[in-house]
Amino acid sequence: MPNNLFGRDAEALPSVGAPNAIAPALSADPPQRTYVTGMTVALGGMLMFFMALVSAYIVRKGFPNSDWRSLNVPRILWLNTATLLASSVTLEFSRRRRARVDEEGFRHWWEVTAILGLFFIAGQAIAWKQLAAAGVYLATNPSSSFFYVFTGAHALHLLGGICGLMTIMLRDTRRLARATAVEVVAMYWHFMDGLWVFLFLLLLLGR
């Protein structure tokens, strides 16, 4: 009688001492597109953050009888902008070399992209130093405060992109396939590029 009641059900159930029966379902890596979707969501959050800053900038500038004083944007920002735009071009050169299975060309242009990113950060530091030498600091007036916040927040986010570029060059990815890693980092980098162009125009034309 016990065999009739439990024998067939017992065969259908995995034994308690056999974890391998359920391990594949628990340890399966997520689909590669999941990482792309995750980056898309993250970029949306970053966009909302910067748009909140832009909204605050517009509202603060429009205050009646405001102490707002126009800020002369350092000229080096033009060079910085050109450098960052060039980095997007070299990034696409790198991706095309990879599509052609040209590993050496891929690594070369990928490294150039990272170097241009570092040049951009250095240029931003020079711009801050020039403003400080002219007596313009974070708390000097509202326009200078927004300038430092915009450029500083963007520089920090771009440093994250540089870390992503260098990680792909120096370390092997595990769960993330290299093709997906390249796509995700490229999405982030181009977003940072376009965001900077928008911020630069805002600071230049919104004085």
Domains of the chain: 32-205 (1.20.120.80)
Cα 129 from Cα 127, distance rounded (Å): 5
- With contact defined as beta carbons under 8 Å apart, do 180 and 36 qualify? yes
Is residue 129 pLDDT above 50, yes or no? yes
Closest CA to 202 of 49, 45, 61: 61
Residue 3 is given by DSSP the state H
- With contact defined as beta carbons under 8 Å apart, do 184 and 39 qualify? yes
Predicted pLDDT of residue 172? 64
Section 100-107 average pLDDT: 92
Residue 175 is given by DSSP the state S
Section 86-95 average pLDDT: 97
Q: How buried is residue 104: exposed, middle or buried, by Cβ count under 10 Å (0-12/13-18/19+)?
A: exposed
Task: Give residue 112's pLDDT band: very low, low, confident or very high (50, 70, 90).
Answer: very high
- With contact defined as beta carbons under 8 Å apart, do 187 and 35 qualify? no
Q: Please give the model's pTM, rounded to 2 decimal places.
A: 0.82
Is residue 207 pLDDT above 70, yes or no? no
Chain segment 150-183, per-residue pLDDT in tens: 999 999 999 999 999 999 988 765 556 888 899 9
